[in-house]
Structure 1
């Protein structure tokens, strides 16, 4: 994979992290779900999106997946950007990508099972899938 693809993947991971942070902030009431910088199709639906956080699918590691995802995506972006700089071995982002796909399958199953359509969740899972596909 070229350096440019690693940096593009890192930027996509940062976008995913920003969306996770937005989701968590709306859920916790730190910010409103409507902002000029958030496209309307990405906005958190307070009636449906936040309902998943309170389910068993919303807390894999004991804390909100959105909070865990924010931290993870920042670390993921760092590892992706670190490969071309020689800070990180190329296999680490690939392993993290496999991990994201496995977690995404479980979380998407949860969305389907709960019949929740959450645009932010779908976009973040799609970004993770794109990042993984770029790596293989």
Structure 2
């Protein structure tokens, strides 16, 4: 004689077996087998115990912060960070040793070009014909 499995007995106890033939087969086996009847009774007791237990609600230990508080804290922290950075930069610049900067005056003497040179100078980066270039070189020597 083959015994019913735990799944079959659990389905029978919970009335989850859809087919009439399967239900009739398990019922016939339970009438003949005392061991399967005892297992079915234990399953029914377990189902009653489990069914009587209500699940506990789990409450978060730390509630979620309110959005306004969170935004206000974020703005305050950002402002504090900016002020702290400004003060750190100001303090670092005042502690840095300052050395005087030596500036040497430089004088450049500018003179106006001569009339002959100015007449032959290309100011728009165009090509100068060779004869004018030779005259330009001779006049500057």
Tell me which interval the TM-score lies in, with the shorter structure as reference length: under 0.3
TM-score, normalisation: structure 2: 0.21
Q: Which has the higher contact order (CA 8 A, sep 6+)?
A: 1
Larger Rg: 2
Greater helix fraction, Structure 1 or Structure 2: 1
